[in-house]
Amino acid sequence: MPKINKTKYAILGVLSMNPGSGYDIKKFCDKGISYFWNENFGHIYPVLKQMEVEELITKIAEQNEGKPMRYVYSITPKGWEELTEWLMQPPENTPARLELLLKLTFAKNIPENNVIEQMEKIKQKHIQRLEQYEEMEKEFNSNEKTRLDRGYPYWLATLRYAIHDARFRIQWCEETIQNIREHQKMLNN
Amino acid sequence: MPKINKTKYAILGVLSMNPGSGYDIKKFCDKGISYFWNENFGHIYPVLKQMEVEELITKIAEQNEGKPMRYVYSITPKGWEELTEWLMQPPENTPARLELLLKLTFAKNIPENNVIEQMEKIKQKHIQRLEQYEEMEKEFNSNEKTRLDRGYPYWLATLRYAIHDARFRIQWCEETIQNIREHQKMLNN
DNA sequence: GTATCCATGTAACCAGTTACATGATTGC
DNA sequence: GCAATCATGTAACTGGTTACATGGATAC
């Protein structure tokens, strides 16, 4: 089977919540879900065009005074069908490619201290991420309205994933740094 | 900056351990590091060719009786240089695209039970993965020789990453399933 | 005045995937 | 007899990235 255009489903999903322009879709990705999903204009615009041809979405031109042209897309019944069908299907797991782990595999060819430094930086990055996510969680849970929304447990799930993820990475960084140091000592004796 | 061919570095890394053929490289990826790195023939062979032109590797033809032709590649000094330079650089983080989380974001459009079923299956998959990794860890640590290798803490790190990863996902699946159920009940009252 | 936001799009590029082609050997 | 392993490669394709082009409005 050929590789599937995931951008199409991301767009369908975003438009299922609200009609919007290509720009709006990009904004939603950047502001709302960038820690697990990313899109860029160079792909969004051509895919939108193609989806219109496939009748998954419809376009309406919007001209506000003094502002640039806006093309607002809405999802069609056919689009809804395609979206829900995709949602019901188990997610495809794309073959992993974790550059950090690949580097570690061959890391014995560079000085230990360089590796430790890199791991330390990565740990700091995840500590910052974790703080952000925990802040987001607080805000999210303090909002009464969101908790009554049918989507509540799903939004929460994505956030919790990010939190778990950041935590395990911090732990793993610490553990790994310690293991490198201990091994260093062992070999010196 | 343009996107960088990571396959090149994977090949350099594999050949830094032992000279080998394209087939050997693929085998190493599949057997040894497939849970965090994947390559396929359709990319390996052309990249090998290009790397030979760049003088990062050299080729020797090997003809064993009755067996198909083998082309064994070795890393050159220039290749070593490029490899270590890359290793010293902090890893690029490619923009995330986690299909599962994207689906959860829009999951309120399909029946809860479908989502729960999917999450249950994913949990089972990670339980199996975890068992495998823990088995691998035992074998790995029981081997005296590997512990004296300079690469020991790095190999261990990749394995420990996989273990941490599987564990957090199992936990997260359980948590999420429970949250969906509780929310379901709450809305029914 | 300068940076950011709003807004749309195209063209060139490339990394990586899939399918196809070939054929001997080994193990069950 | 059949599947898997060994072994190399090409061609077609496509999903996604980057760079380029344009230009007004708003906020500091």
Mean pLDDT of chain B: 95
Q: Which amino acid is at A19?
A: P
pLDDT at B63 over 80: no
Is residue A93 included in any domain, yes or no? no
pLDDT-based confidence at residue B4 (cuts at 50, 70, 90): confident
Q: Within this chain, do residues B83 and B107 fall inside the same structural domain, yes or no?
A: no
The reported pLDDT for the residue numbered A101 is 98
* C-alpha dist (Å) from residue B181 to A140, B19, B112: 19, 54, 8
Helix axes B6-17, B77-88, angle to 10 degrees: 120
Q: What is the pLDDT of residues A71-129, one digit of tens each?
A: 999 999 999 999 999 999 999 989 999 999 999 999 999 999 999 999 999 999 999 99
Residue A160 to residue B172, Cβ atoms within 8 A: yes
What are the phi and psi torsion angles at B37 (to 5°)? -150, 135
Residues A62 and A139 in one domain: no
For residues A73 and A48, membership in a common domain is answered with: yes
Domain span at residue B139 reads: 99-188
pLDDT at B69: 84
**Are residues B107 and B171 located together in one domain of the fold?**
yes
CATH of the domain at B33: 1.10.10.10
CA nearest A153 in B: which residue?
Answer: B180
Look at residue B82 and tell me if it is in a domain. Answer: yes
Average the pLDDT over A155-184 and give the result: 98
Instruction: Choose among B39, B36, B3: nearest CA to B15.
Output: B39
Nucleotide showing the shortest C1' distance to residue A46 CA? C9
Q: How far is CA A189 from the centre of its chain?
A: 46
The alpha-helical segments, DSSP class H, found in chain A are 6-17, 22-32, 41-53, 77-88, 99-105, 112-142, 144-148, 152-188
* Model pLDDT, residue B65: 65
**DSSP SS3 for A4:** coil
**Model pLDDT, residue B41:** 97
Q: Is residue B93 part of a domain?
A: no
Q: Is residue A94 part of a domain?
A: no
Model pLDDT, residue A67: 73
Q: Quickly count: other Cβ atoms within 10 Å of residue B150's Cβ.
A: 13
Of the listed ranges A39-43, B50-54, B64-68, B71-75, the least confidently predicted one is: B64-68
- Given a cut of 70, whether residue A65 has pLDDT beyond it is no
φ and ψ of A58, to 5 deg: -125, 150
Cβ neighbours of residue B3 under 8 Å, at least 6 residues apart? none
CB atoms near residue B157 (< 10 Å): 25
DSSP strand pairing (A57-62 vs A70-75): antiparallel
Q: B interface mutation test: which of A125, A177, A183 has the most B CBs within 10 A?
A: A183
Q: Are residues B52 and B124 in the same domain?
A: no
Nearest to B79 by CA among B58, B62, B99, B59: B58
* pLDDT value at residue A115: 98
d(Cα B160, Cα A172) in Å, to the nearest integer? Answer: 7
Same domain as B104, residue B82: no
Q: Average pLDDT of B126-136?
A: 96
Residue B62 pLDDT class (50, 70, 90 cuts):
confident
Q: Which residues of A touch B182 (CB under 8 A)?
A: 153
Give domain status of residue A57, yes or no: yes
Nucleotide nearest to A23 (CA to C1'): C7
B48, B73, B77 from B52: Cα distances, Å: 6, 9, 13
Give the pLDDT confidence score for residue B66 in this predicted structure: 64
Please tell me the total count of domains within chain B. Answer: 2
Taking only residues 146 to 165 of chain A, the set having a beta carbon closer than 8 angstroms to any beta carbon of chain B reads 148-158, 160-161, 164-165
Give me the pLDDT at residue B180, please.
Answer: 98
Q: Provide the residue count of chain A.
A: 189
pLDDT, tens only, B70-104:
999 999 999 999 999 999 999 998 999 999 999 99
| Residue B105 resides in a domain | yes
DSSP result, B70-100: EEEEEE-HHHHHHHHHHHHSPPP-PPPB-HH
Share of chain B above pLDDT 70, in %: 97
- CA A22-A37-A86 angle, to 5 degrees, is 80
Say if B172 falls within a structural domain: yes
If one counts every other C-beta atom within 10 angstroms of the C-beta of residue B113, the result is: 10
Same domain, A104 and A183: yes
User: Hey, CA dihedral for A126, A28, B121, A99, is it positive or negative?
Assistant: negative
Tens-place pLDDT, residues A21-56: 999 999 999 999 999 999 999 999 999 999 999 999
Q: Kindly state whether residues A109 and A69 are assigned to the same domain.
A: no
Res B3 pLDDT > 90: no
